[in-house]
């Protein structure tokens, strides 16, 4: 029986850690890696989180696969990976995929980049990425 997108999202979120922007910032200060899966256009137009690693949403699983041929070594250090997207939806799916790849404490940011920025947390100015 087909499921709705909301059902799939709820299922993914049952398996991951979800963090407020403030919790994610604290975690990065303790060594977690913030992975920004937003498009280059969104990063240019809205700014970025300093120190985050930009990885295209379409290739995140390949970059974070410890056994893959296209692995980004910055993502397989054993540090917690926290995914941030625009509004906190696709990041939940991606964090669940990372968990299935062996990143057992993968997390996402509730409300995404826009919640981060609205909370007044550190960002770069648009167009400076």
Domain count of the fold of the chain: 1
In a domain, 124, yes or no: no
In a domain, 38, yes or no: yes
Query: 83-95 burial by CB neighbour count: b if 16+ within 10 A, else e?
Result: bbbbebbbbbbbb
List strands edge to edge, sheet with 53-54: 17-19, 107-109, 81-84, 33-36, 53-54
Task: Write the CATH number for 63.
Answer: 3.40.250.10
Helix axes 90-100, 5-13, angle to 10 degrees: 50
pLDDT band at 40 (very low <50, low <70, confident <90, very high): very high
Domain enclosing residue 66, as ranges: 5-117
The pLDDT value recorded for residue 129 is 52
In a domain, 54, yes or no: yes
- Interval 45-99: pLDDT, tens: 999 999 999 999 999 999 999 999 999 999 999 999 999 999 999 999 999 999 9
């Amino acid at each position: 029986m087909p499921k709705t997108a909301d059902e799939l999202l709820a299922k993914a979120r049952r398996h991951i850690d979800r963090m407020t922007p403030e919790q994610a910032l604290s975690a990065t200060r303790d060594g977690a890696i913030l992975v920004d899966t937003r498009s280059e256009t969104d990063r240019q137009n809205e700014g970025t989180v300093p120190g985050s690693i930009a990885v295209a949403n379409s290739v995140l699983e390949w970059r974070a696969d410890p056994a893959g041929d296209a692995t980004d070594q910055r993502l397989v250090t054993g540090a917690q990976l926290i995914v941030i997207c625009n509004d906190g939806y696709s990041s939940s799916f991606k964090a669940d995929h990372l968990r299935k790849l062996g990143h057992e404490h993968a997390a996402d940011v509730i409300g995404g980049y826009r919640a981060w920025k609205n909370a007044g947390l550190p960002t770069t100015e648009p167009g400076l990425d």
